[in-house]
Amino acid sequence: MNIEKDLQLAIIKVIAQLYDAEVSPAQITLQKTKREFAGHYTLVTFPLLRISKKKPEETAQEIGEALLKESTIIEDFNVIKGFLNLSLSSAVWVALMENINSNPSYGIATPTDDAPLYMVEYSSPNTNKPLHLGHVRNNLLGHSLCEILKANGKRVVKTNIVNDRGIHICKSMLAWQKWGNNETPESSGKKGDHLIGDYYVLFDQKYKAEQAELQAKGLSKEEAEAQSPLMAQAREMLLKWEDGDADTVSLWKTMNDWVYEGFDETYKEMGVSFDKIYYESDTYLVGRERVLKGLEDGHFYKKEDNSVWADLSKEKLDHKLLLRSDGTSVYMTQDIGTAKLRFDDYPIDTMIYVVGNEQEHHFKVLSILLDKLGYEFGKGLVHFSYGMVELPDGKMKSREGTVVDADDLMAEMIETARETSNELGKLDGYTAEEAEEVSRMVGLGALKYFILKVDPRRNMTFNPEESIDFNGNTGPFIQYTHARIQSVLRKATEQKIEIPTKIGEVELSEKEEGMVQMLSDFTQVIAQAAEEYNVSLVANYVYDLVKEYNQFYHDFSILREENEALKAFRLMLSKNVALTIKKGMLLLGIDVPDRM
């Protein structure tokens, strides 16, 4: 059942009768009627004036009168300037409610074997530190985008590229080698990614102390950096690794394994996963090979110091370094190799990179370079660009140890949810195990929703205290509403009240009709979220639905309603609001409890 399509056809029919003219559905502009006016849908008549050859108000009045006469679904209309506001009969909304109720997966499509294949890259951690708040936003956006694409019938491959090589990795390795005393995750009681992150911070501390000593001897800042013994050792370690030195590679494998175990725990708690993981230690060689082939074919050039560059001046961009003078790769080289491997592995239709907006230039260049190298897929890469996430007290710096650790943040959110829920009595009557599960749902739901409700393109400030509120535009508020509806449905079951598949004739209020219209919007919202790569559209739709339902719940009786047909309708409405909340929140990676 598609009300907008039915309306379009009815309008096309009356336009033919009134003006002896044929119009296409694309010429019929329908919008949801603004709250301040009576009606459900609004027809914009301005595009039709060249057909009617009359004033906007007169055209709207004529079409409205004809629709009222010819269409069985139009109950009333009003004209505001050139806008025709159409009110549909209660029977239409009851039929639509029955239609939605008959399809538990309403709004969610199932991918077919021949559906377009989307590969979405997200997370992209470095193996020299644990995941932090910035990674949390990245992972949540990537996971949610994948779920929304699947809900639109797309096949999706969730992928991760692990930055497991480079000078930053060698800094952690060198620090552990020099000052680690053979410390392990087991001996320290720390997660492996936390342990390695500590040595990354330690390297920076030692490096700064070394710089201070050198400058105290009269060297300038630049001279101190150039003569740094520590940094020279780190660079030497990187060269040894790239040359395959057995001891260096062995240490690298051991420390990376510690990190991967730690990452896996974090991903599991966060509720994200991957279908395929690539490693830069594999892809950089492929990228290096392709760059050297590009050099041979004349696409790139070599400087006197043997570094390899791409001249992008024709594209109105700068010159881009692809291989350093010592032959080592840069990120761009690695991304070229990763892209080639992915398109070799999968018949990808669309490749999406979930990466912060500070990398917009990088992905513009990557697209151009892949195209220069002859890869047809180069031009079609999509950069899902998102803004930075900060705390109320400012930015984070991982090398200085001032980041907000993802594990600590999730643990604190769960603890805060537990404390807040206890204070409000929302865990009364729960077993310890049940209370822990609800606290986990609420804490992680608060974190995820607070991040995902913000337009991805915007910078944002994550405020833990605001996110855990049980009122307002928060995860806990939505979760509590779902639990409230489930309580109503349980009471109906206890009273042996069944929800029929057909409601019959019943007169609905404006609020009830509006609720059904909101439920019917679910499919359109999911489609728009996928088209615009904007997961916040789903989050804010769910909040708006919850807000409207709470007003309905406050103003209308459900189980005490004496009109049996109306009682059945309100129960059916409540059931499907709860189901839509659950489906929408799952697209955001958020669970909703049945009791709170």
Contact (CB, 8 A) for 306 and 327: yes
Angle at 430 between CA 427 and CA 432, to 5 degrees: 100
Label residues 11-33 b or e (16+ Cβ within 10 Å = b): bbebbeebbeeebeeeebebeeb
Q: Rounded distance, CA 466 to CA 464, Å?
A: 6
Q: Rounded distance, CA 231 to CA 228, Å?
A: 5
Q: Where are the alpha helices (DSSP H) in 34-80?
A: 49-52, 56-70
Q: Rounded distance, CA 36 to CA 515, Å?
A: 16
Q: Which two tokens stand for residue 183?
A: 């410390």
The residue length of the chain stands at 596
Contact (CB, 8 A) for 144 and 589: yes
Specify the DSSP element, H or E, that contains 519.
helix 510-520
Domains and CATH numbers, the chain: 3-88 (3.30.1360.70), 122-400 (3.40.50.620), 407-587 (1.10.730.10)
- Structure confidence at residue 398 (pLDDT): 41
Q: Which two tokens stand for residue 234?
A: 């780190």
Q: Rounded distance, CA 366 to CA 351, Å?
A: 12
- The pLDDT tens digits of the residues spanning 445-456 come to 999 999 999 999
Query: What does residue 221 show for φ and ψ, rounded to 5 degrees?
Result: -60, -45
Contact (CB, 8 A) for 581 and 546: yes
Q: Rounded distance, CA 340 to CA 322, Å?
A: 16
Low-confidence residues of the chain: pLDDT under 50: 395-401
Q: Rounded distance, CA 374 to CA 187, Å?
A: 51
- Structure confidence at residue 577 (pLDDT): 98
Q: Which two tokens stand for residue 414?
A: 């769960």
pTM, 2 dp: 0.91
CB-based contacts of 529, cutoff 8 Å, min separation 6: 148, 535, 537, 538
- The pLDDT tens digits of the residues spanning 7-57 come to 999 999 999 999 999 998 888 989 999 989 999 999 999 999 999 999 999
Count helices and strands in the chain by DSSP H and E runs: 22, 14
